Amino acid sequence: MAAERVSGVLLSSGMLKLVGTDSVAHTPKSRIFLNGDPTGVVYRLAWDNGMVPYFHLPAFFEKYGRKEPQQQTHIPATFARGHAEKTFWEVLAMDPAYLQRFLKGMSVIEGRSPAAGIYDFGWLVEKAKQESDRTVFVDVGGGKGHALLAIHGEFPDLPLDRMVLQDRPESIQAVEAAGDPSLAKVQKVSMDFHTDQPTKGAMVYFVRRCLHNYSDTIVVNILRVLAEAMAADSHLLIQEDVKSMPPDPDNAVLDFLMMTYGGKERTLQCWEDVLGKAGLKLVGVSQGSGPWASLSVIDCVKA
Would you say 296 and 286 are in contact if contact means Cβ atoms under 8 Å apart?
Answer: yes
Q: Which residues are catalytic?
A: 212
Helix (H) or strand (E) holding 257: helix 249-258
Specify the pLDDT at position 280: 98
Distance CA 299, CA 203 (A): 12
Task: Quick: pLDDT tens for 277-300.
Answer: 999 999 999 988 777 778 899 999
SS3 content of the chain, % helix, strand, coil (to 5): 50, 15, 35
Instruction: Tell me the mean pLDDT in the region 53-75.
Output: 94
Calculate the CA 104 to chain-centre distance: 13
Does residue 157 have a pLDDT over 90?
A: yes
pLDDT value for 81: 95
The predicted structure's pLDDT at residue 64: 95
Task: Report pLDDT for 4.
Answer: 80
Query: pTM score, two decimals?
Result: 0.88
Share of the chain above pLDDT 70, in %: 99
| pLDDT range class, residue 1, cuts 50, 70, 90 | low
Helices 38-46 and 96-112 cross at an angle (nearest 10°) of: 120
Is pLDDT of 94 > 90? yes
Dihedral sign, CA of 140, 141, 144, 150? Answer: negative
Question: CB burial class (10 A; 0-12, 13-18, 19+) of residue 163?
Answer: buried
Q: Which domains does the chain have, with CATH numbers?
A: 2-31 (no CATH), 38-112 (no CATH), 122-302 (3.40.50.150)
pLDDT, tens digit (0-9, with 9 covering 90-100), for 108-121: 887 778 888 999 99
Percentage of the chain exceeding pLDDT 90: 68
pLDDT band of residue 164 (cuts 50, 70, 90) is very high
